[in-house]
Structure 1
Amino acid sequence: MCCLREVEDPRRPSNGTRHDFVEMLVIAMAAALSDCDTIEDIACWGRTKAPWLREFLVLKNGVPSEETFLRVFRALDPKQFEAAFRRWVAGVVGTLRGSVAVDGKTVRGSGSGGETAIHMVSAFATELGLVLGQEKVASKSNEITAIPELLKALYINGLLVSIDAMGCQKSIAHQITDQGGDYLLAVKGNQPTLLEALETEFIDQSGCDAVDRHGHARKSRGRIVGQIASVLPAQGIVDLADWPKCRTIGLVDSLRQVGDKESSFERRYYISSRELTAEQLAASVRSHWGVENRLHWVLDVSFGEDASAVRKDNAPQNLSLLKKIVLNLIRLDTADETKTSLRLKRKRAAWDDDVRLRILGLKPL
């Protein structure tokens, strides 16, 4: 919680602030952990749990109102909040291994009432299931501008950074390798010359022993998903001046069958600066798309992010980060050996003061 003290209070002291800024952030975090998804929920939970909160916080003027919480989250500098979050994650995680998936999500509820919905790009440590950082896509822009800003703030040395086709840009590939990381980029029509080269090479080499292939299939809840990954050396196929240190080109064919419905087929191409086997490519692609289930789906279903009616100023971005902080806190709770859903873990934190205290790590006054 010490990182929160590095975030500046956005309010003017001359206006006679009645509530401590850091205490407000702690209340919001504890409430979000305790299954509260809205500003109204946070304020109501804080008033209800005021006796418990006073064991750790002064609360000189009690718990702030819903309106006060909303004003603070609207005014709070999201860059400062995000920087404090990244420092906290770096401190608790230590040296990362494996891969980082970079992917975007629109916070749909923030677009109601005439407001444009915000779009957030997140970096997700696939092995740990933790969010490492987020960056808001600027108005009238897209992920191409947000991804470099997000990567700039992350330590990716030795990590494999996977990004979908929107991020398949020469400048991004250069940035990742300059920062000591490796890239795994999906290739689609936004890079037509590169895509044509990959398609042609896999057609030409389709019957050759040089192609390394790996098949994988799984069945779950009436759904069958099959995947065949193929890789070839990138030498002579990819221009290294454009795509630095590129070593592997890949092809992944995916087949999905749900019950008796007609099956769907999808073919994707990839380039990577890391020398990957077909099995490693398949695993990395599955890890990347796992961000949909382990982050985006969780934010929508367990945290009600898309249902949030908060739209003004910085509030949607700051509340999105608050929910990611709580998601990380729950996944970092190694003392909890129960194999329950994230939804139930939040409810347990709401019901049990000891569970909440353990996850938050608060110290009595």
Structure 2
Amino acid sequence: MESQGQGGQGGQVVVQLILEHFGGLKDPRVARTKRHALSNVLVMALCAVIAGADGWEGLAQFARSRAQWLASFLDMPHGVPCADTFRRVLCALHPQAFEACMRRWMQALAREVRGQVVAVDGKSVRGALSKTLAGSPLHLVHVWASEQRLLLAQQAVAGAPGEVAAIPELLAQLQLQGAVVTVDANGCTAKVAQAVVHAGADYVLHLKGNRGPLYSHVKDMFAPVRANPEASHSGVDTHSRSVSKGHGRREVRTAWAVALRPEDLPPSAHKWPRLRTAVLLRRERTLKGKVSQEWHYYLSSLPPQARKLTGLIRGHWGVENGLHWCLDVCMGEDSRTIRHFNGAQNFAVLSRIALTLLRREKTLKAGVPTRRKKAGWDTDYLLRVLLAGFPEN
């Protein structure tokens, strides 16, 4: 779909798109304080974040500078909101309801995830400190479709330990049939494995010492391999080795996969549905002549195919480069000092929608920071970014 000049019909289409996904959102204000329609506030805020705004004053500055353009498709009898209005509205909106609107929008953009990695990982927004959590940063759990580079859902939790309870709730709200859900050590629990299987997906979970007897069992099982990794081991079902190079670094990944027999596992493992395979992964990095080595253990519901499992494990880290790094470097998230907990969560939702739309717009061959600048300079381009929020035909 193409934009229609400076606002006009193209802008009206954008308004309809916003209303389609956010129209059911409850306006938290009392009637006498509603000088600006909630839909107007949301449209202006999203446009501003796409164009580089990073706080309440930035939202207001964008609205003032583009007031004429906004008025070409918005009914604005009272002009544009001030910074305090943006702050009050976005701090008053219920974060879970706002995130649910984003989730529905992102799922409308998503393609089928069958056979693809869906990575679950947490990220702290270090500039957003919560008064309710003794000054700790806002911590969000993300569900990321790695191949599609699309955020499917997020939820605020009480730091990394709170991820365990949030992950099953998030997975239950998504269409994950046939996907491979990957989770780091915080979420390596029987309840998470149960939630993945209940969603019709498989899992690859990073196993560490916090899993007690199960970790000890897997560690002891792979002890001969770690003692002599170059030898052949009769207990190993499959073995793989891959090498990658880039930016002056060489990394060798060697994996060993073993089928787990239920009768050999500790009693605590019987709570894990379809637990089928244990993986040992060694990562050797060479950078500027210095060699470092790491060993990692994983549990999976998939067959013991070392090469395939190594690829899935590597796919998990797409959430770090494809989402977390971009939010910090391209969207300036860690330096954004919004202290209100609800406001920080809701601004984070706007940032993630903006990042998604900026990436989906394909006419400008440039990185996200350049695209944001272009959107601030050129309203026709900003409309093209917004219209990228429609599902592809």
- TM-score, normalised relative to structure 2: 0.86
Paired residue secondary structure (2:127): helix
Partner of 1:10: 28
Q: CA deviation at 1:190?
A: 0.5
Paired residue secondary structure (2:136): coil
Cα distance in 2 for partners of 1:268, 1:362 equals: 39
Cα distance in 2 for partners of 1:234, 1:22 equals: 54
Deviations 1:295-326, CA, capped at 9 Å, x for gaps: 11111111111111101140011111111111
Q: Is residue 212 of structure 1 aligned with residue 241 of structure 2?
A: no
Deviations 1:174-224, CA, capped at 9 Å, x for gaps: 111112111111100111211122122223576235431222222222222
- Contact kept in structure 1, 2:138 and 2:341, CA below 8 Å: no
Q: CA deviation at 1:336?
A: 2.6
Return the letter of the residue paired with 2:72: E
**How does 1:81-120 map onto structure 2 within 5 Å?**
81-97=98-114, 98-111=116-129, 115-120=135-140
- Contact kept in structure 2, 1:214 and 1:278, CA below 8 Å: yes
Q: Is residue 45 of structure 1 aligned with residue 62 of structure 2?
A: yes
Q: Is residue 170 of structure 1 aligned with residue 190 of structure 2?
A: yes
Paired residue secondary structure (1:108): strand
Paired residue secondary structure (1:80): helix
- Contact kept in structure 1, 2:146 and 2:319, CA below 8 Å: yes
- Contact kept in structure 2, 1:75 and 1:313, CA below 8 Å: no
Structure 1, unpaired ranges of 5+: none
Return the letter of the residue paired with 1:182: D
Q: CA deviation at 1:238?
A: 4.4
Partner of 2:206: 186
Q: CA deviation at 1:282?
A: 1.4
Structure 2, unpaired ranges of 5+: 1-17, 226-230
- Contact kept in structure 1, 2:360 and 2:388, CA below 8 Å: no
Cα distance in 2 for partners of 1:83, 1:94 equals: 18
Q: CA deviation at 1:112?
A: 8.0
Change (3 A) 1:140 1:168: closer
Partner of 1:156: 176
Cα distance in 2 for partners of 1:326, 1:354 equals: 16
Deviations 1:210-244, CA, capped at 9 Å, x for gaps: 43122222222222222112212123454662211
Q: 1:195 aligns with which of 198, 215, 226?
A: 215
Cα distance in 1 for partners of 2:196, 2:246 equals: 35
Q: 1:235 aligns with which of 255, 261, 269?
A: 261
Alpha-carbon RMSD across the aligned residues, in angstroms, is 2.1
Q: Is residue 58 of structure 1 aligned with residue 75 of structure 2?
A: yes
Partner of 1:329: 357
Partner of 1:341: 367
Cα distance in 1 for partners of 2:190, 2:160 equals: 22
Return the letter of the residue paired with 2:312: S
Count of residues paired in the alignment: 359
Q: CA deviation at 1:362?
A: 9.3
Q: CA deviation at 1:46?
A: 1.1
- Contact kept in structure 2, 1:350 and 1:356, CA below 8 Å: yes
Cα distance in 1 for partners of 2:72, 2:305 equals: 55
Q: Is residue 268 of structure 1 aligned with residue 296 of structure 2?
A: yes
Q: CA deviation at 1:353?
A: 1.8
Return the letter of the residue paired with 1:285: I
Cα distance in 2 for partners of 1:11, 1:163 equals: 39
Deviations 1:150-180, CA, capped at 9 Å, x for gaps: 2222222211110001101111111111121
Partner of 2:52: 35
Deviations 1:229-260, CA, capped at 9 Å, x for gaps: 22121234546622111222111111222223
Q: Is residue 290 of structure 1 aligned with residue 318 of structure 2?
A: yes
Change (3 A) 1:52 1:22: same
Deviations 1:257-316, CA, capped at 9 Å, x for gaps: 2223x3221111001112252121111111111211111111111111111110114001
Partner of 1:259: 288
- Contact kept in structure 1, 2:238 and 2:304, CA below 8 Å: no
Paired residue secondary structure (2:245): strand
Q: CA deviation at 1:10?
A: 1.3
Return the letter of the residue paired with 1:145: A
Cα distance in 1 for partners of 2:66, 2:312 equals: 44
- TM-score, normalised relative to structure 1: 0.92
- Contact kept in structure 2, 1:56 and 1:362, CA below 8 Å: no
Partner of 1:315: 343
Change (3 A) 1:362 1:180: closer
